[in-house]
């Protein structure tokens, strides 16, 4: 298992043991959690190429600050509550 720097734009984490898209990108835990959160808002049906493009686009975005992450977490909670209410 290799330990490398995070390949996400603007991330300075150097102890990354996770990879995405096979071994194409190393990603730190914080960015991986942000990717998982963002994935919840992705279209439900994507081709393999579309998934690869979506992840590559994510890796080119700047890492959120802690304040931005907390704000997005609150937005995600409200979206889930509204989705549950609509069902």
Kindly state whether residue 78 falls inside one of the protein's structural domains: yes
pTM of the complete model beyond 0.75: no
Which range marks the domain in which residue 62 is found? Answer: 18-86
Kindly state whether residue 33 falls inside one of the protein's structural domains: yes
- Coil vs helix vs strand at 4: strand
With a cut of 80, say whether residue 30 has pLDDT above it: yes
Share of the chain above pLDDT 90, in %: 25
Give the confidence band of 20 by pLDDT, cuts at 50, 70, 90: very high
Number of neighbours of residue 70 by Cβ within 10 angstroms: 11
User: How does pLDDT run across 35-64, given as a tens digit for each residue?
Assistant: 888 887 777 777 888 888 888 988 998 887
Radius of gyration of the chain measured on its C-alpha atoms? 14
**Alpha-carbon torsion angle 76, 82, 43, 19, nearest 10:** 30
Give the confidence band of 73 by pLDDT, cuts at 50, 70, 90: low
Kindly state whether residue 4 falls inside one of the protein's structural domains: no
The token pair at 55 is 């992840």
**DSSP sequence for 63-86:** PPPHHHHHHHHHHHHHHHHHHHHH
Kindly state whether residue 3 falls inside one of the protein's structural domains: no
């Amino acid at each position: 298992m290799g330990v490398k720097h995070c390949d996400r734009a603007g991330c300075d984490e150097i102890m990354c043991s996770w990879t995405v898209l096979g071994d194409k990108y190393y990603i730190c835990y914080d960015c991986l959690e942000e990717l998982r959160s963002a994935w919840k808002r992705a279209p439900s049906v994507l081709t393999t190429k579309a998934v690869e493009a979506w992840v590559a686009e994510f890796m080119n975005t700047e890492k959120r600050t802690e304040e931005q992450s907390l704000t997005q977490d609150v937005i995600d909670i409200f979206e889930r509550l509204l989705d549950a209410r609509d069902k």
